Structure 1
Amino acid sequence: MSAWWRRGLGALIALGALGVGRVVAEPELNVSGAGWLESNKIERSVRSLSQVETRSTLDANAIEDAVFFTLSAVAANGYLRAEVDATIERPSGEVLKHHFDYRFAELLPRPLEAVRLDLEVIQGVRYHFGEVTTEGGEAVLSSERAHELLVPSGGLLNLRSDRMFTPARLRQGLDQIEVWLAARGYADARARAVSEERNHETGEVTVRVEIAPGRQWYVTSVDTDAAPAGVDVPDLPVAADQIWTSGWQQDEVEKVRQAYFEAGYVDVRLRAEREGEVADDGTMGAAVHIGVEPGTQVIAAPVQFAGDVVVADSVLRRRVEVTAGEPLNPSDVEATRRRLGRLRALAGVDVRYESAADGQRSPVFVLEEREPWESSLLLGYGSYEQVRGGVELRGFNLLRRSHQLRLEAVGSLKSLRGDMVYTVPDLFGETVDAKLRLFGLDREELSFQRQEYGAVASVTRRDLAWIKADFTAAYTYQDLRSRESELGTRAMDVVDTTSASLTLGLSHDGRDNPLVPHEGLRWFAQIEAADPVLGGESGFQRLEAGLSWHRPLGDTNWLHVGLTHGTVLTLGQDSDRWLPANKRFFPGGENSLRGMTTGEASPRNGAGEFVGAKSFTLLNVEFEQALTRRISAVLFYDALGETARIQDGLWDVQLHSVGLGLRYQTLIGPVRLEYGHNLTPRPLDPDGTLHFSIGFPF
């Protein structure tokens, strides 16, 4: 052992002897019997709640708290009569055993200290909804719909775990019925369980629910108090068939509130009063009056910043929408808070007000810094590349201007790639970002070794108002290489070349969830044009466009449709020698035509060698049926039309596949196991392909 190690160890021992930095030997805690994942989750929560790491022993109160939390946690999963066997080891080594039932009837003896606590959960029967009947309200709410609101289906199999019963889930279901009716004007609707019978042997719970919708409310009029000078309250017209709901009323109140805010009445208080009268048709007519207490008008003093002011003042000031000397509008203050909150260098932004002279107030934005650097491990799997792993490093406040840097290195059994992206946000206004990207890729394709290295400079304009899409313009310079080529075009392919191109693109994502989409539309279109005048050696035009559309067909099944097209041309050039092999299309794989592996669906020549497509159109259609809350089954159809030479027609080759799959939903997207069967295999094509991957296919 070296001298400095000996000195360091000696210093630590000395400090320990003096009690400086003394480490407390924390008591041991173990939870078992609730399943491995759930037991570990409960154990971590108990450690946190009991502050185990700060204790040397656990007293009787801490042990009972741990047991109570454990019983509550398993009860939330439907085990309403669970029990716990506690094994308690005292500092002397004596072991005490104590049994707790769900009623928590017998408490521990006192005084008691423990250095180890083992909790074994005896879950017992899991309670689940059995027969659920509803009475009343049939003219408004069908019994089928009421049942769906009370007991949401987890999928086609409708497992007991999906129908888990707890008093909280029953109350939630009753609340859902009342919310559903209230949204349709039945403001006084009530739903209550009039009987609940639990079978303690089977866990089945029979519930009878009584629904009283009451009368439906319609708005007859809405008015407000007279406003002071300078406050422009908008008209509040009422449609003839306007249903009264609390949401509608809040919207009307908010219109009045914003009018007062714009005039600087920061402390305005509003109250809405509803008076009802029974109409001839049995409905209720609601006359709504919005009362106003305006308070005093406030003028804005200069904005201040407090807290972790880690971003340059000029960057912060650019996002301020409050003008000193003008009426103080809380809506402008909130807009400023949101704009500041979008700075990646900040973890949070709060706001408070400080009084200034002459009745003025100064908004003070309290800034919270995020960690300037974050690192994370990356992990994925695909049928072709198999296991993918890597590391990512992100910086969020370079040059104190909230500039961002992302470094990423990813390797798999087939490829190695690296990326460095430097982002300058809000380059020209808040909606325009600039990026500089350096990249490298070495990937083993089915018929050649792809190598690409280069740089991209781009600007992105977010959310173009007229089409609700992001616009990107980019300049790319890259070195393109194709090694060990077995392509049918290898005799004419340029092996090593450089490409300089301009790319223009539009994209829009209106899906409800990008990882697990169930509803919405996403589309994109981009064109890349390369020419020697831009600085490279090759010349081509590459167009790609696509969309994906998702629609629910019920509560537990969905339709997914994807359509993608790509074409690469060499207009203005004398031959295809201007086109690198890297820029051709090689369809096939778990996110393309699923009857084949990655690249295997590309055109072949007469010798059976892969050529690479110059144009392709891919259609993916899926029907997804939920089996449980996390598992779904998929029936899919993929169709591919492609050509190796544009002059041979748009879809010179046509391939089709159908298949089945299972998906397990996770936080990073679905884990997919799918088999695609080829309906039109070529002589060297497989009959089908089994895929295992992570992520939604389109």
Structure 2
Amino acid sequence: MDHNEGSLRSGGGLRQGLKRRRSQALGRPRGLRGPRVALSHACAPALIAAVLLAASDARAQSTSSPADDAAAFFDKALAWFDPSRAKSAAPVPDATPYTVTLNVTGDSSVRSAITDASNLQRLRNTAPSGAAGLVRRALADRERIIAALYAEGYYGGRITITVAGVPVDAPTVFETVERVRKAGPVPVVVDVDSGPAFTFGAVRVIDPAGRPVAGAPTPREMRVIPGERARATSITAAERVIVDRLRAQSRPFAKVLGKDVVADHASQTLDVTFKVDPGPVAIFGPFTVSGTKSVDPKFVLDRIDIRPGEPYSPERLDALRRRLASYEIIGSVRFREADHLNAQGQLPIQVEISEREQHYVGFGAKYSNTDGSSANAFWGARNLFGGGETLRLDAQLTWYAQGSDSVPTADPFGYRLAATFTKPGILTANEDLVAEAAALREVTDAYVREGGTFTAAVKHRFNDDWNGQIGVDLEQSTVQDAFGTTDPFIAGIPLGLNADTTDNPLDASKGYKFSATVEPFVAFGESGAGPVMLKAQLSAYHAFDEDKRWILAGRVAAGSIIGPELLDVPAQRRFYVGGGGTLRGFDYQSASPRTPTGLIVGGLSYFTASTELRVKITDTIGVVPFFDMGAAFASDVPDFSAMYYSVGLGLRYYTAVGPVRLDFAVPLNPIPGGSQYGVYLSLGQAF
């Protein structure tokens, strides 16, 4: 091979392990043009790191110091806001301008990957310092382009780089650059022949003795499938799959010792052999806690339900991490596993806790042209008495712009002042107390109420997904509706069952949520004792791809009040459908029973269903076409022949705390005199 000609042999850690089989390699050019080439196990990490770090290590290719690079970056950033700064930025000392020509032959589909990897191309408007800076940048480009080719599955390519017409690694390159730069920008030419795309051949997972590893994932599970494109990124990712699979089999010390990667140029295939140490099977040992400040370590230990002697399981640890992190005072949870088993064959684990700030404040807002708007401010305390207790105070102001149809003289402004207290572990570590007291004024089309509520419940955790609760529900309010003013007293005993297997509370991509409530009333306004309220809701989520860019979400809900006549039920406890939370595109509560004059009354039962296809266009932008249906009914059993329907399109902006939702919906069978569309803006998905 000529001095100026690089091949995949030059790529990162690969060059240490390249060897050719003698059968056909003699007399051929150096590099990967021989029939079979073995690549050392260091290949993929080194090359993939080069690809992934391509955007961040450009400053390593120049002679400037890290401090100089940071200052230059800061000046450039400020220049976006103050263009005059761009003119006054300090020039690079001994700048050597250049032009770059990038020629790609072979498979043109890799041009964009090569262009993205090339610092010569990306930094062409930033001149390096001196001839040495330009040559260093060009030499580094060869490594970066090789890494890019590997990442796309090309192991037989060639790279030729000339600077000022001479090979970049020629002895005369520096004096040639110094001479040419006097006449203008130095020409740099990069010629890349991608060569053919390789596919995976034989894939094996063996132990140090060369035996197949029992329980190892299949090539399909590792996504290194024979016959498919042999991307180096897939090889690196397969290592993680192997380790995760073996750890799931109670082998916490499983590790990949190395890998042999052999390129067969005759068949254009890549054989991969992973050398793995499965490690011993282990059981859980004792847990210890560190990092706590205001929280008693015993509070954490009491909530660890993994007992010494249980088989080691990463899944159990993940569930424990989620459970501990659900307590507001705990900001993060890290498990530090011992590096060896104890005398009992157990794996000791240290739980490292990071606490959140004990006090916080915040605010929120919501807008809808059909539901009304609201603004909310809140203050909270975490770990109030040292046992994970929380207290939150909320103050909310609402504005129902169109006013109440049933009480047209009512002021459209409402409010809600609430205090919520939680006490973890009130009986055992699995029972929590949740209590809330609120004073409120609520304005809707159907009614206006003003009064106070109090709820309290003891919640029991059955397992990581399911919990149940029993509590009390008290309310004393003054309510105005189409039939006058009443002062109903309500006392109920709600029993609930809840489940949540989703992966993200604000933006789920898999799993389901389920909730069901049965509430018998001992006092229910004019109905007295005896009525029973039933309601349930199920939401489910499914991602069609590993990157979670296509997610199908669905929700169905229903409820019924059994026993009383419709008008004996206090207006605020009847069922209503319509608006952003139930049936988008329709006015709030509008898809509900009405009086002969058209005033909303509410119903004894309801049914709603929604489906959404959540599509991510970029990492931060997504679109959501959706379909809603539902209605409330005067009977205590839903009448599915009298449903309302709507369709719409949503826009999502994904942030670190969750998606910002903007939905636009139109009714398919609009209510006469009702809204023709609905607009909804809030944080989090619709369900």
The TM tier, using the shorter chain, reads 0.5 to 0.7
Conserved 8 A contact 1:460-1:470 = no
How big is the shift at 1:591? 3.5
Which residue of structure 2 lines up, in the alignment, with residue 373 of structure 1?
359
Which residue of structure 2 lines up, in the alignment, with residue 479 of structure 1?
475
> Distance in 2 between the 1:643 and 1:341 partners?
42
> Distance in 2 between the 1:541 and 1:364 partners?
47
How big is the shift at 1:653? 3.0
- The alpha-carbon distance between structure 1 residues 69 and 604, as it changes in their structure 2 partners (threshold 3 A), is same
- Farther off after superposition, 327-336 or 367-376: 327-336
- Note if 1:69 corresponds to 2:73: yes
- Note if 1:416 corresponds to 2:415: yes
Amino acid aligned to 2:493: S
How big is the shift at 1:632? 5.5
- The alpha-carbon distance between structure 1 residues 248 and 388, as it changes in their structure 2 partners (threshold 3 A), is same
Which residue of structure 1 lines up, in the alignment, with residue 520 of structure 2?
530
Which residue of structure 1 lines up, in the alignment, with residue 488 of structure 2?
496
- The alpha-carbon distance between structure 1 residues 248 and 560, as it changes in their structure 2 partners (threshold 3 A), is closer
Conserved 8 A contact 1:563-1:617 = no
- The alpha-carbon distance between structure 1 residues 691 and 578, as it changes in their structure 2 partners (threshold 3 A), is same
> Distance in 1 between the 2:389 and 2:499 partners?
24
Conserved 8 A contact 1:570-1:579 = no
How big is the shift at 1:597? 1.9
- Note if 1:580 corresponds to 2:574: no
Matches within 5 A, 1:383-462: 383-384=369-370, 386-413=372-399, 414-425=413-424, 433-451=432-450, 453-461=452-460
Secondary structure at the counterpart of residue 674 of structure 2: coil
Amino acid aligned to 2:514: F
- Note if 1:592 corresponds to 2:582: yes
Secondary structure at the counterpart of residue 70 of structure 1: helix
How big is the shift at 1:688? 0.6
Conserved 8 A contact 2:652-2:660 = yes
How big is the shift at 1:305? 5.8
- The alpha-carbon distance between structure 1 residues 257 and 590, as it changes in their structure 2 partners (threshold 3 A), is closer
Listed one character per residue, the Cα deviations across residues 651-686 of structure 1 (whole Å, up to 9, x for unaligned) are 35333344556555555533526252x443444x23
- Note if 1:315 corresponds to 2:299: yes
Listed one character per residue, the Cα deviations across residues 345-370 of structure 1 (whole Å, up to 9, x for unaligned) are 34456769899x99999977665543
Amino acid aligned to 1:439: A
- Note if 1:691 corresponds to 2:679: yes
- Note if 1:505 corresponds to 2:489: no
How big is the shift at 1:474? 2.8
> Distance in 1 between the 2:435 and 2:574 partners?
25
> Distance in 1 between the 2:622 and 2:318 partners?
41
Matches within 5 A, 1:157-176: none
How big is the shift at 1:464? 4.2
Secondary structure at the counterpart of residue 545 of structure 1: strand
- The alpha-carbon distance between structure 1 residues 441 and 176, as it changes in their structure 2 partners (threshold 3 A), is farther
Amino acid aligned to 1:345: I
> Distance in 2 between the 1:259 and 1:564 partners?
38
- The alpha-carbon distance between structure 1 residues 533 and 623, as it changes in their structure 2 partners (threshold 3 A), is closer
How big is the shift at 1:610? 1.4
> Distance in 1 between the 2:455 and 2:472 partners?
4
> Distance in 2 between the 1:208 and 1:86 partners?
38
How big is the shift at 1:524? 2.4
Question: What are the ranges of 5 or more consecutive residues in structure 2 without an aligned counterpart?
Answer: 1-64, 96-101, 125-140, 163-189, 225-234, 400-412
How big is the shift at 1:583? 1.9
Correspondence for 2:258 among 257, 260, 272:
272
Which residue of structure 2 lines up, in the alignment, with residue 640 of structure 1?
630
> Distance in 2 between the 1:397 and 1:418 partners?
22
Matches within 5 A, 1:76-475: 85-86=84-85, 99-100=88-89, 104-105=92-93, 135-136=106-107, 143=109, 210=194, 213-220=197-204, 222-224=206-208, 235-236=214-215, 245-252=235-242, 271-274=257-260, 283-290=269-276, 309-318=293-302, 338=321, 344-347=328-331, 368-384=354-370, 386-413=372-399, 414-425=413-424, 433-451=432-450, 453-461=452-460, 464=463, 469-475=465-471
- The alpha-carbon distance between structure 1 residues 598 and 208, as it changes in their structure 2 partners (threshold 3 A), is farther
Which residue of structure 1 lines up, in the alignment, with residue 402 of structure 2?
none
Which residue of structure 2 lines up, in the alignment, with residue 670 of structure 1?
660
> Distance in 1 between the 2:533 and 2:279 partners?
65
Which residue of structure 2 lines up, in the alignment, with residue 541 of structure 1?
533
Counting aligned pairs with the same residue, the percent is 16
- The alpha-carbon distance between structure 1 residues 280 and 617, as it changes in their structure 2 partners (threshold 3 A), is farther
Amino acid aligned to 1:656: Y
TM-score, normalised relative to structure 2: 0.60
How big is the shift at 1:331? 8.0
- Farther off after superposition, 581-590 or 535-544: 535-544
- The alpha-carbon distance between structure 1 residues 409 and 538, as it changes in their structure 2 partners (threshold 3 A), is farther
Secondary structure at the counterpart of residue 677 of structure 2: strand
Amino acid aligned to 1:616: Y
Conserved 8 A contact 2:454-2:475 = no
Correspondence for 1:568 among 560, 573, 577:
560
> Distance in 2 between the 1:544 and 1:344 partners?
27
Which residue of structure 1 lines up, in the alignment, with residue 20 of structure 2?
none
Conserved 8 A contact 1:220-1:238 = no
> Distance in 2 between the 1:502 and 1:220 partners?
57
Secondary structure at the counterpart of residue 68 of structure 1: helix
Secondary structure at the counterpart of residue 383 of structure 2: strand
Amino acid aligned to 1:315: F
- The alpha-carbon distance between structure 1 residues 431 and 250, as it changes in their structure 2 partners (threshold 3 A), is farther
> Distance in 2 between the 1:598 and 1:151 partners?
53
Amino acid aligned to 1:680: N
Amino acid aligned to 2:200: Q
How big is the shift at 1:411? 1.7
Count of residue correspondences: 536
Amino acid aligned to 2:72: F
> Distance in 2 between the 1:134 and 1:546 partners?
55
Amino acid aligned to 1:644: A
Secondary structure at the counterpart of residue 481 of structure 2: coil
Listed one character per residue, the Cα deviations across residues 123-156 of structure 1 (whole Å, up to 9, x for unaligned) are xxxxxxxx998843x9xxxx5xx7998999xxxx
- The alpha-carbon distance between structure 1 residues 599 and 260, as it changes in their structure 2 partners (threshold 3 A), is closer
TM-score, normalised relative to structure 1: 0.59
How big is the shift at 1:504? 1.8
Amino acid aligned to 2:443: E
Conserved 8 A contact 2:149-2:155 = no
Amino acid aligned to 2:418: D
